[in-house]
Chains A and B, each alone.
Chain A
Amino acid sequence: MAELQGLGAQLSEAERAGVEIVAVSPDPNERSQRLAEGLRLGYRFVADRDLAVARRYGLVHAGGGPDGQDVPRPATVVLDRDGAVRWFLVSRNFQVRPDPDDVLRAVRAL
């Protein structure tokens, strides 16, 4: 979730109003929501408890969790107003997340 903080901090208020950031994770999302509120980030956190959506997107890292459970591959996708993919990045190393500057560039290019 480190990438979320960078992204939120760099968006201007107008930009934050003009784009919806939807964070998808198997996390029980009250925890995520509390974290986002603490950081004053205007994100929608949605719970993908059984990874059904991650699976549909081809973004499951089988057995990649700390207890050997399936987890999502960290990924960021920029969709334009019509819902078309304009930019995306899937991490190949779970420590590495997209550079917020790259995401912002993709958002501003819309």
Chain B
Amino acid sequence: MTSGRLAVLSVVVALGALAAYVLLFRVTLVRNHPEGYVIAFVLATTLAALALVRARARRWPAWLALGLASLLLVGGAWFNFVLARVPDAPTVLRVGERSPDFTLPDAAGRPVSLADYRGKKPVVLVFYRGYW
């Protein structure tokens, strides 16, 4: 493959991986494998490096692709392996044991107690951060 085509392919892989992750975040397989975009950025960086090696006269497309891919690789790896890491800590949850009771207000301000469901309904408790 020519240097120019390799550079274009690198940009497509890098930006495509970014777009796919953002657009397909609702798909469990995509959401739960964030290392996928890091691997795609590694591939894009490799393609751009290859483009640079093969470049004869016009070197700027390869440099541009390499800049973009390596920036995404560093940013993506930092986000996935550093920023998004949730430190492990012991919880009070034990399978087979009751979880602690609580009473919290719902959207209308009415109190909701975990104890209210006991003997009536199973409960799925979802703790989430709020902003997605």
Contact = CB atoms under 8 A, between A and B. Distances in A.
Given A84-B97, A92-B86, A6 B127 contact: no
Contacts of B26: 2, 5-6
B129 A77 contact: no
A57 B100 contact: yes
B127 A2 contact: no
Contacts of B34: 93, 95-96
A29 B117 CA distance: 21
Contacts of A44: 106, 112
B85 A83 contact: no
A44 to B, nearest CB: 6
Residue in A30, A58, A66 whose Cβ sees the most chain B Cβ within 10 Å: A58
Most B-side CB within 10 Å, residue of A18, A59, A93, A95: A95
Given A25-B127, A25-B130, A58 B90 contact: yes
Q: How large is the interface on B (under 10, 10 to 19, 20 to 34, 35 or more residues)?
A: 35 or more
A102 to B, nearest CB: 9
B93 A57 contact: yes
B89 interface: yes
B127 A59 contact: yes
Contact of A99 (B28, B121, B122): B28
Interface string B96-132: 1111101011110000101101111111111111111
Given A45-B106, A57-B127, A73-B86, A97 B122 contact: no
Contacts of A26: 129-130
A87 B123 CA distance: 11
B107 A29 contact: yes
B2 interface: no
12 contacts: A23-B126, A25-B130, A30-B107, A59-B127, A74-B129, A80-B122, A81-B122, A82-B98, A84-B98, A85-B97, A85-B98, A96-B31
